[in-house]
């Protein structure tokens, strides 16, 4: 078919990993084409203030930072496109990808930076305060600082919830953990750590009923799912730590994924996947750090690995 587009470097996803990969790839003259994906700018666009990305001493909002990254990538002629890749075929040396409109792209290298999506409870009140920046967050390391000296609630019982509750306990006067069963899922050592922290209160068998407040969060209504008793916990921040889902479904026929769906690195310390010429950066392969700066770092690695891969093929 004549309308097949051939590209040296296709970048899928537009968070800090994707844009950093684009900046490096474009400056190396790889003429990258980026598909921004369903949520242009990625998870950071749901973050209010970013204060921990080096180079912004006064902080910057998540959306503003993503616009800056986009303009930096475009400055070096990255072809940034609104749209998303819905299908891939990585069975040959040329990597075939299709967009949602059916446009077929043959890429010599592909950098996957599709990220992961935080899971939320799905309550209407939770989504309201998430969207208006009024006190719901899925990242304590990103947003905990805004609740210094205040009371917060965190839902979840895995390692992330324990880690984030402990992080919040150093900033907040009180942290209430909502555990839906009568036990944690997290490792023993993490559970012991939260149990031993005096300003963390653990409520077992407890579900969230509603996040309460006018424009900002002021309390959380919870219900004991054994007794049916409802209570109200005063809090200005509501943190959700019930897991993430990596956005990797379309690659599952070709790439090695772990049991949750994170892409496995073929060689530690690189961005290689098990398919030559396909590289991964950011949260699609990272369930541990999940920070904008670590995503940006791996985006740089992916572009350098892709450049070396092309050079070895004689480009």
Q: Which residues are catalytic?
A: 139, 142-143
| Minimum CB distance to ligand NDP, residue 244 (Å) | 6
One of 44, 110, 155, 303 touching ligand NDP (CB under 6 A): 155
Residues 206 and 223: beta-carbon distance below 8 Å:
yes
Is residue 26 part of the contact set for ligand NDP (CB under 6 A)?
no
Q: Is 312 helix (H, G, I), strand (E, B) or coil?
A: helix
One of 6, 148, 170, 181 touching ligand NDP (CB under 6 A): 181
Task: Give the number of residues in contact with ligand NDP, rule: CB under 6 A.
Answer: 16
Is residue 156 part of the contact set for ligand NDP (CB under 6 A)?
yes
- How many CB atoms lie under 10 A from the CB of residue 229? 10
Strand partners, 174: 151
Q: Is 137 helix (H, G, I), strand (E, B) or coil?
A: strand
The footprint of ligand NDP on residues 264-293 (CB under 6 A) is 287
Closest CA to 35 of 76, 87, 75, 92: 87
Residues 80, 98, 20: CA angle, nearest 5 degrees: 30
Measured CA to CA, the distance from residue 77 to residue 283 in angstroms comes to: 25
Is residue 180 part of the contact set for ligand NDP (CB under 6 A)?
yes
Distance between terminal CA atoms of the chain? Answer: 25
Closest CB to ligand NDP among residues 158, 276: 158
SS (H, E, C) 253-301: CCCCECCCCCECCCCCCCCECCCCCEEECHHHHCCCCCCHHHHHHHHHH
Residues 68, 71, 72: CA angle, nearest 5 degrees: 85
| Minimum CB distance to ligand NDP, residue 288 (Å) | 6
One of 59, 63, 83, 158 touching ligand NDP (CB under 6 A): 158
| Minimum CB distance to ligand NDP, residue 182 (Å) | 10
Contact flags string 58-87 toward ligand NDP, x per CB under 6 A: ------------------------------
One of 83, 243, 261, 276 touching ligand NDP (CB under 6 A): 243
Q: How many CA atoms lie within 13 A of 238 on its CB side?
A: 30
One of 185, 193, 221, 223 touching ligand NDP (CB under 6 A): 185
Stretch that binds ligand NDP, among 13-21, 59-67, 94-102, 154-162 (CB under 6 A): 154-162
Is residue 163 part of the contact set for ligand NDP (CB under 6 A)?
yes
The two three-digit tokens of residue 105, written as one number? 């792209």
Closest CB to ligand NDP among residues 163, 210: 163
Contact set with ligand NDP (CB under 6 A): 121, 155-161, 163, 180-181, 185, 242-244, 287
């Amino acid at each position: 078919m004549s309308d097949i587009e051939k590209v040296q470097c296709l970048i899928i996803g537009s968070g800090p990993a994707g844009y950093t990969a684009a900046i490096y790839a474009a400056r190396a003259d790889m003429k990258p084409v980026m598909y921004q994906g369903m949520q242009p700018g990625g998870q950071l666009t749901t973050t209010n203030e970013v204060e921990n990305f080096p180079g912004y001493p006064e902080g910057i909002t998540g959306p503003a930072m993503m616009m800056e990254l986009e303009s930096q990538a475009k400055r070096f002629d990255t072809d940034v496109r609104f749209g998303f890749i819905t299908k891939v075929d990585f069975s040959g040396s040329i990597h075939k990808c299709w967009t949602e409109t059916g446009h077929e792209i043959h890429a010599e290298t592909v950098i996957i930076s599709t990220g992961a999506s935080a899971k939320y409870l799905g309550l209407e009140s939770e989504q309201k305060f998430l969207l208006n920046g009024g006190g719901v967050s899925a990242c304590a390391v990103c947003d905990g600082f805004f609740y210094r000296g205040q009371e917060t609630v965190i839902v979840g019982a895995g390692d992330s919830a324990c880690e984030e509750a402990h992080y919040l306990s150093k900033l907040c006067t009180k942290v209430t953990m909502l555990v839906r069963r009568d036990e944690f899922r997290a490792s023993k050592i993490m559970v012991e750590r939260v149990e031993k922290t005096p300003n963390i209160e653990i409520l077992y068998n407890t579900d969230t009923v509603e996040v309460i407040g006018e424009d900002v969060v002021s309390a959380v209504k919870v219900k004991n799912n054994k007794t049916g008793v409802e209570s109200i916990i005063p809090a200005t921040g509501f943190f959700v730590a019930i897991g993430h889902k990596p956005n990797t479904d379309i690659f599952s026929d070709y790439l090695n994924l772990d049991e949750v769906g994170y892409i496995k690195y073929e060689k530690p310390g690189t961005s290689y996947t098990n398919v030559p010429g396909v590289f991964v950066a950011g949260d699609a392969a990272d369930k541990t750090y999940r920070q904008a700066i670590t995503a940006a770092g791996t985006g740089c690695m992916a572009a350098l690995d892709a450049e070396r891969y092309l050079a070895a093929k004689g480009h």
